[in-house]
Amino acid sequence: MSDRWVCKRCFADNEDADTTCTRCGLIRGAESTPDDQSEWASESGAMKASRDPGWRKWLRFWWVPAIAIALVVGYATSARRGDDGTLSSAGRVSVDELRTGDCFNTSGDDAITDVDGVPCTEAHEYEVFNLGTYEGDGTYPPDSALPAIFSEVCEPSFAAYVGAPYATSEIYGSMISPSEDSWGSGDRSFICLLFDPDDPALTESLAGAGR
């Protein structure tokens, strides 16, 4: 089995044969300062945002410093789940009740407390592919830290869920992250999401899509 190496600037996972990072181009073994990481994250965000200028800014995409999302405790959902735990009927789902494999849409509010959950066979924009936590040094992470958090919390699960590595996948990833207030209350939950910028009304799960 070949060894792999992690880029010290963008934290991407690379093959042993790669001499430069497949995501950011940093030479293997080269050091990277926090300022370099922040600068690359900013440039990367501008590059990806230019692919689809119509993206809604209500969601805090990890590569675009935007509006912080409030991740707060909600009440019982009106959506129903089948015996296997998957959503079997559409309805409101509290953010803290989201599970891996859930598909949903949003109302576009700045502070998300719940979402419109739907079976993945119904039109939807987002799909949860991992639930994780992040402590860091205990201080609320700034926008510049989100790329590293995504790489640590979400990216390791991406390839196993989608069937293709994140660095080359056609599918995009994002996170719902705690607001500063909920972080101060002890919330360390990060919800990893999939979406296809070319199809905001998917009618199937992206699990095992292989692209």
DSSP string of 106-156? ----SS-SEEEEE-TTS-BSEEEEEEEE--TTSSPPPGGGHHHHIIIIIHH
CB atoms within 10 A of CB 25: 11
H helix runs in the chain, sequence order: 34-49, 146-149, 155-162, 180-184
End-to-end CA distance of the chain: 23
Tokens matching residue 119 = 């079976």
Q: What pLDDT sits at residue 53?
A: 30
| Closest-CA residue to 158 (of 178, 179, 132) | 132
Q: Which residues contact 132 (CB under 8 A, 6 or more apart)?
A: 153, 154, 157, 189, 190, 192
Q: Is residue 166 part of a domain?
A: yes
Pairing of strands 189-195, 172-176: antiparallel
| Vertex 171: Cα angle to 116 and 96 (nearest 5) | 35
Q: Find the domain containing 111 and state its range.
A: 53-195
Rounding to the nearest 10 degrees, give the CA dihedral for residues 108, 114, 115, 118. Answer: -170
Q: Is residue 39 part of a domain?
A: no
Q: Which residues contact 179 (CB under 8 A, 6 or more apart)?
A: 68, 69, 70, 71, 72, 111
Task: Output the tens digit of pLDDT for each of the chain's 211 residues.
Answer: 446 777 777 777 677 777 877 777 778 878 877 666 666 555 544 333 332 333 333 233 333 333 333 333 334 447 899 999 999 999 999 888 999 999 999 876 556 778 899 999 999 999 999 999 999 999 998 878 888 888 899 999 999 999 999 888 889 888 888 888 888 888 899 999 999 988 989 999 999 999 9
Which amino acid type is present at position 80?
Answer: R
Q: What is the DSSP string of 22-47?
A: TTT-PBTT----HHHHHHHHHHHHHH
Strand partners, 130: 192
Q: Is residue 209 part of a domain?
A: no
- Rg (C-alpha) for the chain, rounded Å, is 17
Q: Is residue 110 part of a domain?
A: yes
Q: Is residue 37 within 8 Å of 12, Cβ to Cβ?
A: no
Domain count within the chain: 1
Q: Is residue 92 part of a domain?
A: yes
Q: Is residue 33 part of a domain?
A: no
H helix runs in 110-166, sequence order: 146-149, 155-162
Q: Is residue 6 part of a domain?
A: no
Q: Is residue 171 part of a domain?
A: yes
CB atoms within 10 A of CB 74: 17
pTM: 0.66
